[in-house]
Amino acid sequence: MPKGLLEQGWLASARKCISPHFNARPDNEVSLLVIHNISLPAGCFGLGHIDGLFQGCLDINADESFTELAGLQVSAHFLIRRDGEVVQYVSCDDRAWHAGVSEHNGRKGCNDFALGIELEGTDSSGYTDQQYQQLILLTLELMAQYPMLNVNNIVGHCDIAPGRKTDPGFSFDWHRYKQAIAGN
């Protein structure tokens, strides 16, 4: 992915799946990258339910576990599927609703200044080589576009919401990921 493929916060190579669950950033600041994981239903991959959740049109009758998600308004900036497909839901220039109650370096409300990348997976499922490749490329592009982002400002959801969130989980290879982005 050559540099400069982000226009008005949208990645040219990503499949667009626009979410209504966003609003303006209060200070137009992007200084944190948060890595998450998601699967719907839990542990199931390759289905369209994540798109439905982030677009506010999840069929809650599709799985009994979805009833607890009824009316939930959440989104992320990106999803990287198991096959490496990158989906974008919210412009990076806007605030997606991915972090919830959160704090980083004494600052509350991480959605205000963070980008959220969801990896299709679970804490224990491991992630595919295609996901790591796309995550590394996407991270490098985001760092090129948003100068306040750097290797020290990349965290897991577990780091900004400890005790409440555990993702991306123990199966995420932080060393592999951070070594690859630091080497570029």
- pLDDT by 10-residue block (mean), the chain, 184 residues: 69 96 96 98 96 97 95 97 98 98 97 98 96 98 95 97 96 97 84
Range of the domain at 115: 6-182
Residue 10 falls inside a structural domain: yes
d(CA 120, CA 102): 21
pLDDT confidence of residue 167: 97
Give the catalytic positions in this structure.
118
d(CA 156, CA 18): 24
Residue 78 falls inside a structural domain: yes
pLDDT confidence of residue 164: 96
> What is the full DSSP assignment across the chain?
--TT-EETTEETTSEE---S-EEE-SS----EEEEEEE-SSTT--S-SHHHHHHHT---TTSSGGGGGGTT-----SEEE-TT--EEE-S-TTEEES-S-S-EETTEE-GGGTEEEEEEES-TTT---HHHHHHHHHHHHHHHHH-TT--GGGEEEHHHHSTTT--TT-TTS-HHHHHHHHHT-
Count how many domains the chain has: 1
Residue 1 falls inside a structural domain: no
Residue 49 falls inside a structural domain: yes
97-115 pLDDT, tens digit each: 999 999 999 999 999 999 9
pLDDT confidence of residue 4: 47
d(CA 110, CA 147): 17
Residue 37 falls inside a structural domain: yes
What predicted TM-score, i.e. pTM, was given to this entire model? Answer: 0.96
Check which CATH number belongs to the domain holding 142 and give it. 3.40.80.10
d(CA 56, CA 53): 5
